[in-house]
Structure 1
């Protein structure tokens, strides 16, 4: 559905290593516009898990489905959202016959209605919101430290592993979500500038033009030897200045 307030696109590119090894794309995404807002979500299946591509696709599918119901509620509880989302994800994984531990995936989601925007993060990747008030960066960068432990969807849902923010839509100009195949290659302090460049470039673009341009640069990612899948969603206000 075309939205008179927002425009944007979602793109993905399978990692070179996955092509060589004949492995499925493990990233997944969904972008849904409706009358007064949008829902955007990206999920990165853990590479060490056999069916993580299934886990990430299920995560995106049910995030959109559940968000459409949740956003209409007068009282919105993030804890209830997170708990119910996780239960639904586990139910569908078990229904499929796969083991939960083989379907682990991260999640980044944005739910926006006419006045409010809700950000959800579990695991790596990043969300950037450009604002007239204060720019927002939500990420899991380790500040130079090494860690191979990624928070993700699994058997146990720990509220402490999730990050949740509620912000006023009034001041937001653009929103960007991406998996770590992109965010890990952006130097600290450069994330905002990266998204600002997109916001400036796509100011007068249509949704189709945004998608075509994003597909071009994501397919020609300039960091050599980076073999990970890459997924990104960019949304900006129409008439953004």
Structure 2
């Protein structure tokens, strides 16, 4: 009995020896190098599309655009008058509210300045009855050639409905004069400024003439919000 127990003990490798054997096996698997083996779990990255829907890249230092008021407001992601002196260190994403972006209206925008475009688009949205708005054209005065003026053509301008529509457009422009940078309006022989009617103007019985202070020519990066 004692001999049998002794033989059994001899057949079992000591625990220390088993540990050494396991360590050698790991080293052999790693190319017999004494350095530790590190396993990295790399997550697969999913590239974003070049122009993601509803997002805009803005400098990290630029403030978040405040919520637009119920009336129209202009947001320009790159003001024509602003220049970047040095590249920004970082950027972030800003969500664009597609439901509040003003689409291009019925006015041809070539040659118009930003506030004039903003006013033209706003009128197209608020007054869908308007189907024609004139912009840049040759004129002895500088307002139309410089992209500062609009001619909002009134359907059936001499009818009660047409006169009422023209009155509403003038009132709308004057109420939002600061937002549109409105200079003046002329309708049915009356010259208006943001302070109210001033004196008799020349003609303008078939369209409402609106003039803005311009705000500079667009760079192509402007976004116009309601």
> Which structure: greater strand fraction?
1
> Which structure: greater helix fraction?
1
- Compare CA radii of gyration and give the structure with the larger one: 2
**Structure 1 and Structure 2 fold alike (TM over 0.5):** no
Higher relative contact order (CA 8 A, sep 6+): 1
